[in-house]
């Protein structure tokens, strides 16, 4: 499992669901997107719960190192 790719897809799906809801569209896509979102959340939770590493965006050490590089 790639937690970075999983988190990226979770964020994309959440944004798409929210955008569709705001626009009043996408009702036909909601069940598929919601099911996929739930699947990804469960997979990421399982990964982390079994000792897998955090996605880079959630790892404070990586975020701190990236901030230093950007300066």
How far, in Å, are 23, 55, 68 from residue 63 at the CA level?
A: 34, 10, 9
The pTM (predicted TM-score) of the whole model is: 0.80
Question: What is residue 28's predicted lDDT score, i.e. its pLDDT?
Answer: 83
* Residues 3-58 pLDDT 10s: 999 999 999 999 999 998 888 887 788 899 999 999 999 999 999 999 999 999 99
DSSP readout, 11-45?
HHHHHHHHHHHHHT--TTTHHHHHHHHHHHHHHHH
């Amino acid at each position: 499992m790639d937690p970075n790719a999983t988190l990226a897809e979770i964020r994309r799906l959440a944004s798409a669901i929210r955008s569709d809801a705001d626009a009043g569209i996408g009702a036909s896509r909601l069940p598929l997107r919601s099911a996929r979102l739930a699947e990804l959340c469960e997979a990421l939770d399982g990964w982390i719960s079994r000792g897998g590493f955090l996605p880079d965006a959630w790892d404070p050490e990586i975020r701190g190192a990236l901030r230093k590089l950007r300066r």
